[in-house]
Amino acid sequence: MENLNLIETFSEFKELKSIDRATMMSVLEDVFRGMLVKMFGSADNYDIIINIDKGDFEIWRNREVVENGEVTDPNQQISLAEAKLIDADYEVGEEVTDEVKLLDFGRRAILALRQNLTARILDLEKNNIFQKYRDRIGDIITGEIYQVWKREILVLDEEGNELILPKTEQIPTDYFRKGDSIRAVVVRVEMRNNTPLIILSRTSPIFLERLFELEVPEIFDGLIIIKKIVRIPGERAKVAVESYDERIDPVGACVGMKGSRIHGIVRELKNENIDVINYTNNLQLFITRALSPAKISSIKIDEKSKKADVYLKPNEVSLAIGKGGLNIKLASQLTGYEIDVYRETDLADEEDVNLDEFSDEIDGWIIDELKAIGCDTARSVLNLNIEDLVKRTDLEEETIKEVLKILKAEFE
């Protein structure tokens, strides 16, 4: 019965299937030897036999037979009289091997042994989780929401390991409840207070890249490569792709028949708009594609300053800039160039007047608001109706009417 308490701990140890047998044996023997050293000062003359499968163990002590009354170290030596009680054939100088029962160590020693063993098991388990997830950085994990807090979500993987999804790594429109299934990518693994901390993300570009690998077989097989991904989580993303096989249309393969492939990704990302762009080394063409769906008339590129001036027809400017400036911002990040958009002028536009000329009649902040949506001249504002201006700016309808009145007067 003295082994009963330890057998439960052995069972726990056996459950850690990812820990190899050699490591198990080494740790268990190390714990037992540590106890013997603490009790007797040395464990060199002990043999420890461990049976992990049965959850059992044996401890055998080896002692030298000495003449009666000459025992100086009971742990290393045994008197001839005692030896003969074990076996009558023993002689002085021979070695006696006898089994030591755990019960002989006392209740306190057994309790300390169990605590030490449990602590070592926990340390092994923590280290194993850390090593496992450190090798999985960049992989998608599917887990179950266990707890939802204000600043983070606790996720359990299929083995019950705890993973953390911080608020900052969640898509703004994400909403989860306990028990929900979730997919995210492992972005960081670290040890904090001797406990592995696994950080997940749904906002990382790597998450979007892995989703494409899952949905598009050509990407998974390496026939199509993702050159770069930029995204504003929950709003919009741009993905530049290139095909190594001329027969494969990379954009078409990523989108799928009637959008079948990309729809699954969009749903996972809470309706994030995804623009898939065919990558090219032709910088002018790449910038043109990056600003899609706007149609560009001409581009001036300054490679030294990494700037590109893009000229468009007036009705294309708002498309190039996009809602809240997202399209032009992402296009700049994707191409690595600072992009400025300008209206293409023709003879009919020569009579146009820059908005700054009206600074004595229109407040500066109103002019700035109009410039933010690509309207930097009087005619560019007059080309838009009141409803469009209300939608695309933070200006009140009355303010817009007053501005239009001032601008119209200039051309009358």
The verdict on 28 and 93 lying in the same domain is: yes
CA 51 vs CA 25, 30, 78: distances in Å: 9, 15, 28
Mark which of 132, 151, 185 sits at the end of a domain. Answer: 132
Q: What is the pLDDT of residue 370?
A: 87
Task: Work out whether strand 140-148 and strand 181-192 pair parallel, antiparallel, or are unpaired.
Answer: antiparallel
Q: What SS3 string covers the chain?
A: CCCHHHHHHHHHHHHCCCCCHHHHHHHHHHHHHHHHHHHHCCCCCEEEEEECCCCEEEEEEEEEEECCCCCCCCCCEEEHHHHHHHCCCCCCCCEEEEEECHHHHCHHHHHHHHHHHHHHHHHHHHHHHHHHHHCCCCCEEEEEEEEECCCEEEEECCCCCEEEEEHHHCCCCCCCCCCCEEEEEEEEEEEECCEEEEEEECCCHHHHHHHHHHHCHHHHCCCEEEEEEEEECCCEEEEEEEECCCCCCHHHHHHCHHHHHHHHHHHHCCCCEEEEEECCCCHHHHHHHHCCCCCEEEEEEECCCCEEEEEECHHHHHHHHCHHHHHHHHHHHHHCCEEEEEECCCHHHCCCCEHHHHCCCCCHHHHHHHHHCCCCEHHHHHCCCHHHHHHHCCCCHHHHHHHHHHHHHHHC
The reply to whether 258 falls in a domain is no
Per-residue pLDDT of the chain (412 residues; tens, 9 = 90+): 344 445 555 555 555 545 666 777 777 778 878 888 877 777 788 887 777 666 667 788 888 888 887 888 877 888 888 888 887 888 888 888 877 777 767 778 777 777 877 787 788 888 888 988 999 999 999 999 999 999 999 999 988 889 999 999 999 999 999 999 999 999 999 998 888 999 999 999 999 999 999 999 999 999 999 999 999 999 999 999 999 888 899 999 999 898 899 999 999 999 999 999 999 999 999 999 999 888 888 899 998 899 999 998 888 888 898 888 899 999 999 999 999 988 876 544 456 788 888 888 888 888 888 888 888 888 888 888 888 888 888 888 899 899 898 888 877 6
Q: What is the pLDDT of residue 349?
A: 47
Residue 238 has φ and ψ, to the nearest 5°, of -125, 130
The verdict on 56 and 115 lying in the same domain is: yes
For residues 353 and 378, is the Cβ–Cβ distance under 8 A? yes
Q: What is the pLDDT of residue 10?
A: 58
- CATH assignment of the domain containing 147: 2.40.50.140
- CATH assignment of the domain containing 97: 3.30.1480
Residue 275 has φ and ψ, to the nearest 5°, of -100, 120
The verdict on 96 and 161 lying in the same domain is: no
Residue range(s) defining the domain that contains residue 79: 4-132
The verdict on 112 and 167 lying in the same domain is: no
The reply to whether 315 falls in a domain is no
The verdict on 107 and 158 lying in the same domain is: no
The verdict on 73 and 147 lying in the same domain is: no
The verdict on 8 and 127 lying in the same domain is: yes
The reply to whether 340 falls in a domain is no
The verdict on 193 and 124 lying in the same domain is: no
The verdict on 124 and 178 lying in the same domain is: no
The verdict on 45 and 113 lying in the same domain is: yes
Mark which of 181, 201, 221 sits at the end of a domain. Answer: 201
The reply to whether 402 falls in a domain is yes
The reply to whether 257 falls in a domain is no
Q: How many domains does the chain have?
A: 3
The reply to whether 53 falls in a domain is yes
Residue keyed to tokens 């082994």: 3
For residues 298 and 241, is the Cβ–Cβ distance under 8 A? no
Mark which of 161, 182, 201 sits at the end of a domain. Answer: 201
The verdict on 107 and 153 lying in the same domain is: no
Q: What is the pLDDT of residue 347?
A: 41
Q: What is the pLDDT of residue 12?
A: 57
Q: What is the pLDDT of residue 77?
A: 83
Neighbouring residues of 188: CB distance < 8 A, sequence distance ≥ 6: 137, 197, 198, 199
The verdict on 16 and 127 lying in the same domain is: yes
The reply to whether 232 falls in a domain is no
The reply to whether 126 falls in a domain is yes
Burial 248-267 (b: 16+ CB within 10 A, else e): eebbebbbeeeeebbeebee
